[in-house]
Structure 1
């Protein structure tokens, strides 16, 4: 039976110059869904609605002091360098005052901010929410980067409901605490930096951890804890280190992500490629995505990428790439060849995949997929596989310590512990068994009778257990069954919540000693036992497609990647989707590029096209109404590019940070 996945694209409405830099709406929509991690942004009662505020970024280079009239409403200036002392957060800049009545002018100071090696996007995004939360990022460094001086920079915005006197943001690198600061940034982004001691960073993967302990200003109800959040600004947070001067084919994971945490991959074009060459290009894109252990590739075809982030990819036979800048440095090409050209003239590094003929290019692609290094610090190498969720196969016992969870005492009202598990793509969810959660920990005396532990799976309640004893209790094996019907193929989010109200919450004296007394102990030896899983390939199934690229990895006939319109936007979207499917499958998928879905041919097909170019027969074959599809997407045909530093994918604003809306999450507006 033929399996087909149809992905409509809005019609491009930009000229060639803008199309070269615009992420197609299909890829943008997919990135939006994954970066947000399925966690809805909760509104808070202290903030109203209003026009979005533009976040301005200080210029790079030396600090400038220039004379000029100060605007009546100047944007808040963000300090370039925060104190590295762990006891003092960075001082916020203030808007310039208006000109005085006598016409005098006040000098305006423009701060500098050095570039940082940004953090990669993962399943959890960039928001710390609730009273206690943790974000962890694996960051790959080369040998030279690990040896140099380094600082951890955190740029953040917080909810106005967060009480600074009782809330802290802490940074750790490979388990070493490098600094902390009071959380106090409700109206403007604040930047702090912590010095990283010598010897902490290692070549390979390093674990960067951000933890937040947040308390409410005025409300001690459990419901009020949902108003607490600290949003990390991914565009300026990361490790302040030098660019990788010793980058090579074994350290491609050190390629730096962009402002959104995604890795830009620019496929160089010197002419319009034929379908066979485009097929080889998409294969090389997949290989690079697999070997780099990416979570968020963002592919574009066109001119070279500039700046510090991303990588350029040059794919073709020796004859096809002849004349491209830098190729002459390769020397004679006599067979399959991989080479990494260093950055030049503000251009990102260029990875060359070439050979004498098409077969050599495919062989070089296979070599690329087998390259890479998974070394690094102990915490870093343990964290790297978790960036997309811990993979389970069934019939196993997992202590939460292996999933990055640590033991902790908690003195708040709602403790939420999250883990992400990735089930097999052919997993069959049904009530034929239960996963067993065995909690280890305890709770203090004096809790309210409504205190309980609640377990949610993918946002749905799976179990609740009361904490009934007024005297408190210590438990080492509190068994909680979790039905398998609530799990799904691919990524699953599990949240263990301890609701811990007591009588003191009614008084809500946040400064009293009683407010600091521990209420709950969560131990990392808590374990999850996964039974044997029923498995069967179901096709078509979008969950299976996302989880493991099913059915495109099935043996037999080559899967087809159908591009009815072979323009640049469609190629961008198709390559990005292919890269993500390759990451899910952990290997390069041998797609055959064709211009038409065909009729009754068997085999799996992935169709990527603007809605206007989709064949009505193809749309009907997957159970959709062609007229309805065209009506819905017709209103989004013209993309309006938003001016700003980050291009049409979305300008970073305070409003977007407050709403936890990634920069690449931007569909064209409806007509």
Structure 2
């Protein structure tokens, strides 16, 4: 049955998230003066601190219930001289009325100067306290009492601002040694009022497991067949979108899990009533409901339905009803450090949640994310403009400058030349479109602000009352007309916008084996893609091999032939985790003997490697090469170097062979064999490896770095290694207007500059030939 609810769910979700942000209209001069005069503004600017409660150890607060922050572990580090982190936590009515204590467990770098370092804390936009940063030797928990009037039912927002300075080094590079890291397991809101898992909103307070991951276990009785998995998919995606956590891992089993997490119990009528009674959930109503789990820190989401039609109806009813507020305040909430843009739009930093702050240190760092369209073609045909609204103070060194870093690469610098101070009212700074990519892009504005006094490096003489820089929230980015064409393979578009599987497009999720580990890996990837698309995906799950000739795109989860002897009939009875010998631990063990052989059984990759080694060993030196060979080598090297420069790649770009022996798992995109569709293939040597590899791939820090045509997780260090796409093809060209076709052509020529140069030379040559043929015929005319 077609999943017609998906488009309805998407439309509803977009309707729920339709609240538009206010426009920023403040002028630079109006905002600068109160800040420089010392006037406190909302958002923690020049705060009047309230002293925090005394520091406690983790054991002192263990007796109370700790409501965790919803953000994943990567958001808990505050680095640099002035850093801000935003967290959210959920409370119900009784918990708000009782008030509580905010626990911030942290450790800081030894290089942080304790005399001046401090943390300021706000809850829901109101200052609640501050404390000194003084935990270089171990984790210390600071507690700040929060009265009920500071809280609200639902999601509460905590803003933590750390201002810290170096003990002995006043250089700009030393600011990167400054950090304060919160412990996600020990930080949160401590309350004496327990909140059992009884509704969907209560799921927002579920804790993470020991690995700091949000565990969702799908409980499916019997074999994990395609019918059962297609019933799981809509419920799982709705749940993950509601949680809005980017660290979810999905496992599959026939019984609930233990410890913190969520059990998604599929109780279909064909399984009988014994499934729920055996789990103690016989009181669960029909449809989708939330029940208490086997332990206080575990929840159960129960689906009771007759078939896929009932499942779709129940999910749609939940999205329209009890899930609506959570979706609106979660995944569709604006101003959480992300700016979503499209062609011709202007967006301000205020829309990303940035608040104007004055800065008195040496290196100001402002970070936000820019989400580009999924079919955006990055190339040198236009620029994305940064409209800078800021001011610098007098006395800056002549080396002061603003650096713009996109996806960890510096793409623009703008010097602050006026030592008497400058004010920028929408100063245009052009950023190359090639530096961006489809989906999410990390943008950092780095203001280097040295002064002469920094050379003396006397921390005791530091004057934080005299700011050096202010960046206004009216700073904006302006997006030009974009070339719109879907080019694949592109793992950045996959990770950023779930392209080409988003937008309600039907595709197949094909899992080659129906064992719990392979199925868990497939559902984990499906959940992460739904989160990237901010909408449920229209996936049809199948067990076996992808079908050719259908024209449907496919996401394929495949393990190789380690257990092929089980045969197709027994795939559902795959060995358990304890029975599998080919584990990650086994792969980590070094070989005691490494041999090489040449045989008829050698693979194509091995043969190519041996031939390349032969050519390398027999190749002559530079002196033995002819002039033509030298020129050819030089031209190839120059072309490769220029191509790396165009794409902001370093000289040490890593290369790998598709799924070589050092890879735990590989992720690659390719055309289907019939050329009608796109396949994204996740491949590993064994089901346990594909599960471990996918869990590593979807980690936030790894997922955001996916790019190119192939990515691999190394077995030894679990590091991500990417391989650029050798050849790309056009998967979609929905905009066929002359303007878009012109931009696509310009983008293609900028990528293939050699052809552009040859065309220019050919045109010049043709003109020269024409000129040579025509001019002699136009001699001086004489009358006789």
Correspondence 1:147 to 2:178? no
> For the structure 1 residues 285 and 638, does the alpha-carbon distance in structure 2 shift closer, same or farther, using more than 3 Å as the test?
closer
User: Does residue 632 of structure 1 match 2:582?
Assistant: no
What residue is the counterpart of 2:426 in the other structure?
477
Match of 1:521 in 2: 470
1:223 counterpart residue number: 173
Contact preservation (8 Å) 2:206, 2:297: no
Change (3 A) 1:454 1:354: same
The 1:281/1:523 distance shift into structure 2, 3 A limit, reads: same
**Aligned 8 A contact 1:137 1:383 in 2:** no
Contact in 1 for aligned 2:230/2:540 (Cα 8 Å): yes
Aligned to 1:459: 408
The change in CA–CA distance for 1:258 and 1:427 in structure 2 (over 3 A counts) is: farther
In 1, the alpha carbon distance for the partners of 2:714 and 2:304 equals 36
Q: Give the Å deviation of 1:447.
A: 1.1
Q: Is 2:284 the counterpart of 1:330?
A: yes
Map 1:502-521; keep pairs closer than 5 Å: 502-514=451-463, 516-521=465-470
Q: Is the contact made by 1:268 and 1:301 (CA closer than 8 Å) also made in structure 2?
A: yes
Shift of 1:414: 0.4
Partner of 1:280 in structure 2? 231
Distance 1:614 1:554 in 2: 37
Aligned pairs (5 A) from 1:160-175: 160-175=110-125
Counterpart of 1:245 (choices 168, 188, 196) is 196
Task: Classify 1:306/1:117 alpha carbon distance in 2 versus 1 (closer, same or farther; 3 Å).
Answer: farther
Structure 1 position 270 matched with structure 2 position 221: yes
Higher mean C-alpha deviation, range 534-543 or range 494-503:
534-543
1:654 alignment partner in structure 2: none
For residues 212-263 of structure 1, what are the alpha-carbon distances to aligned partners after superposition, in whole Å with 9 as ceiling and x for unaligned? 1010000111110010011111111111134433742466545444466643
Q: Which one of 569, 589, 594 corresponds to residue 542 of structure 2?
A: 594
- Secondary structure, aligned partner of 1:511: helix
**Who is 1:441 aligned against?**
390
Rounded Cα–Cα distance in structure 2 between residues aligned with 1:583 and 1:381: 11
- Rounded to whole Å, the distance in 1 between the matches of 2:416 and 2:662 is 54
1:390 Cα shift?
2.9
- Is contact 1:420-1:492 (8 Å) kept? yes
* 8 Å Cα contact 1:89/1:181 also seen in 2: no
TM-score, scaled to structure 1: 0.72
C-alpha distance after superposition, 1:467-499 (max 9, x if no partner): 112211223222211122111111111101110
- Hey, what does 1:661 align to over in structure 2? none
Taking a change above 3 Å as real, the CA distance of residues 610 and 518 of structure 1, as seen in their structure-2 partners, is same
User: 1:128 offset after TM fit, Å?
Assistant: 0.5
Partners of 1:575 and 1:613 in 2: CA distance: 22
Structure-2 change in CA distance of 1:503 and 1:270 (3 Å):
same
CA–CA distance in structure 2, aligned partners of residues 297 and 398 of structure 1: 30
Residue aligned with 2:234, SS:
helix
1:568 positional shift: 1.6
Counterpart CA distance in 1 for 2:269 and 2:490 is 41
Once the 2 structures are TM-superposed, how far is the Cα of residue 168 of structure 1 from its aligned partner?
0.9
Could you tell me whether the CA contact under 8 Å between 2:284 and 2:302 is conserved in 1? no
- Do 2:116 and 2:164's aligned partners in 1 also have CA atoms closer than 8 Å? yes
- Partner SS state of residue 283, structure 2: helix
For 1:404 and 1:526, locate their aligned partners in 2 and report how far apart those are by CA, in whole Å.
Answer: 12
Q: Distance in 1 between matches of 2:445 and 2:262?
A: 39
Contact persistence 1:539–1:550 (CA under 8 A)? no
Report if aligned partners of 2:366, 2:446 keep a CA contact under 8 Å in 1. yes
Partner of residue 247, structure 2: 296
Aligned to 1:400: 349
Deviates more, 1:159-168 or 1:118-127: 118-127
The answer to whether the Cα contact below 8 Å between 1:249 and 1:340 also exists between their aligned partners in 2 is yes
- Partner residue in 2 for 1:6: none
- Structure 1 CA distance for aligned equivalents of residues 267 and 657 of structure 2: 37
| CA 382–362 in structure 1, closer or farther in 2 if over 3 Å, else same | closer
Whether 1:119 and 2:150 are equivalent positions in the alignment is no
Report whether the alignment pairs 1:577 with 2:542: no
TM-score, normalised relative to structure 2: 0.63
Equivalent-residue separation in structure 1 for 2:297 and 2:138 (angstroms): 32
- Of 24, 28, 51, 1:86 maps to 51
Q: CA deviation at 1:562?
A: 1.6
1:535 to 2:500 alignment = no
2:261 pairs with 294, 297, 310, which one? 310
1:486 aligns with one of 432, 435, 441:
435
> Helix, strand or coil for the counterpart of 1:445?
coil
Q: Aligned residue for 1:128?
A: 78
After TM superposition, the structure 1 stretch with the greater mean CA deviation from structure 2, 114-123 or 476-485, is 114-123
Q: Per the alignment, do residues 176 and 375 of structure 1 end up closer, same or farther by CA in structure 2, a change over 3 Å counting?
A: farther
Deviation, 1:612, is 4.5
Correspondence for 2:511 among 557, 563, 576? 563
Structure of larger gyration radius: 2
**Secondary structure, aligned partner of 1:224:** helix
1:72 corresponds in structure 2 to none
Q: Matches of 2:331 and 2:350 in 1, distance apart?
A: 10
Please state how far the C-alpha of 1:271 moved relative to its aligned partner.
2.6
CA drift at 1:144: 3.5
| Deviations 1:66-117, CA, capped at 9 Å, x for gaps | xxxxxxxxxxxxxxxxxx9834651679xxxxxxxxxxxxxxx998464422
Bigger RCO (CA 8 Å, 6+ sep) = 1
1:413-444 residue CA offsets vs partner (Å, 9 max, x unmatched): 00001111222222221222222212222111
Give the SS at the match of 1:164: coil
Give the whole-Å Cα distance in 2 for the aligned partners of 1:318 and 1:387.
42
Q: Are 1:611 and 1:629, in contact at CA under 8 Å, matched by a contact in 2?
A: no
Distance 1:174 1:670, change over 3 A: closer
Change (3 A) 1:130 1:542: same
Alpha carbons of structure 1 residues 348 and 588: separation in structure 2 relative to 1, 3 Å: same
Q: For residues 603-614 of structure 1, what are the structure 2 equivalents within 5 Å?
A: 603-612=552-561
Question: Cα deviations across residues 440-479 of structure 1 (Å, max 9, x unaligned)?
Answer: 2211111111001111111122211111122112232222
Q: Which residue of the partner structure matches residue 414 of structure 1?
A: 363
Aligned partner of residue 310 in structure 2, secondary structure: helix
5+ residue gaps, structure 1? 1-83, 94-108, 641-648, 651-665
